[in-house]
Amino acid sequence: MSLKRSGLVKGGEKPGRNNMKTHPAPRQLRDFTGMKLFGLICCVAGIVLGLQGNLGILGVIGGDALAGISVCTAVYILLVPAVRKIEEWERAVVLRLGRFHTVKGPGLVFLVPVFDRISQILDIRIRVTDFAAQETLTRDSVTVTVDAFAFWLVWDPQKAALEVEDYTEAVVLVSQAALRNAVSSNDLSTFLERGDLIEKQIQAEVERQTTEWGITVQYIEITDIQIPDALQDSLSRLAQAEREKQGRVLLAEAEIEIAKKLEEAVRIYAKNEPAMKLKVLSILNEGLKAGNSMMLVPNSITENLEAKDIFGLEALTELRRGEKREGKEETIGK
């Protein structure tokens, strides 16, 4: 059973380190170091050839000309890598003679040839990394697999480059460990009902460790909770029983409210007899309006009504008796 809480995970794709996007390593930095070394060798060779003068085929060109070409080539090879362009969302960590010198960027960055080297270019934009805790037992001994993603960014490029070898991988591993700890220290019901508390707990634990690396975690959200299929029926029955319980509680509360109102109405009618009689008449009127041919009315009500002839029942009875007498007299006279 899988309970997804976000639409950021594509169907059929499980979050994890396999589909994690990482910032490509700047391979050209090593090439620039090789070009500097090659330029230095060319410069030394040009000076040596210029001092030697005409030697064999070199005499056709001239030692001075060859030396000038070599020097220009060396200068070009040394100066081109010394000027770099850094994008707005990037920062370059510069090392001088192997030691940290400064963080430069964005825009054009000028380096001292041979002495300065850009060791790493870091992306300071907000990144989204998804991670998953493998099958882990909750506090109530339920095996679950929880997937989540984190929004984080590099706020100190110097620490991110010098304190940890691969800060992206480190963030993923720390997040997975924090997620496993959160799973093992909480019940399954807590994950299903109070996921926001679990997310804040994971965020606090991850940020406590990544702050030393110059990284801050802005937000963590649980995207998917997978539970064993054997628990589906029990959870369904539990949810159904809970709904029935709530329905019965609401019905009982409604009955209590109705009883309180009826009790209040009884006290009012007991003190006001005309109001009680009007209520009786209104009940009878509602029954007659419904088109009922027969109505069951308590004897106490009918006796009261007949005594006072409210509906003219006695007059109707006398009229029918008079008609019967007249009919009998006509029959005798014939």
Q: What DSSP assignment string belongs to 123-186?
A: E-S-EEEEEEEEEEE-TTS-EEEEEEEEEEEES-HHHHHHT-S-HHHHHHHHHHHHHHHHHHTS
For residue 90, what pLDDT band results from cuts at 50, 70 and 90? very high
For the chain, percent of residues with pLDDT exceeding 70: 66
Edge to edge, the sheet with strand 90-96 lists 99-104, 90-96, 116-123
What value does the mean pLDDT take over residues 275-287?
73
Q: For residues 176-181, give the mean pLDDT.
A: 90
Q: Which fold has domain 2-22+125-231?
A: Tetrahydropterin Synthase; Chain A (3.30.479)
Confidence class of residue 92 from pLDDT cuts 50, 70 and 90?
A: very high
Enter the pTM of the model: 0.56
For the chain, which residues make up each domain, given as ranges? 2-22+125-231, 28-120
- Measured distance CA(325)–CA(170) in Å, rounded: 113
Higher-confidence residue of 17 and 172: namely 172
Q: Residue 318 — pLDDT band, cuts 50, 70, 90? A: low
Query: Considering only 67-71, 88-92, 133-137, 255-259, which range has the smallest mean pLDDT?
Result: 67-71
pLDDT at 133: 75
Q: How far is CA 225 from CA 50, 121, 183, 204, in A?
A: 75, 36, 11, 21
Distances (CA, A) of 298 to 204, 263, 295, 303, 305: 73, 21, 10, 9, 11
Output the pLDDT for position 249.
Answer: 92
Q: Which two tokens stand for residue 206?
A: 């991850």
How many other CB atoms are found less than 10 A from the CB of residue 191?
Answer: 22
Residue 321 in 3-state DSSP?
helix
Q: Is the pLDDT of residue 94 over 90?
A: yes
pLDDT category of residue 272 using cuts at 50, 70 and 90 = confident
Predicted local confidence at residue 41, as pLDDT? 63
Q: What is the pLDDT of residue 27?
A: 40
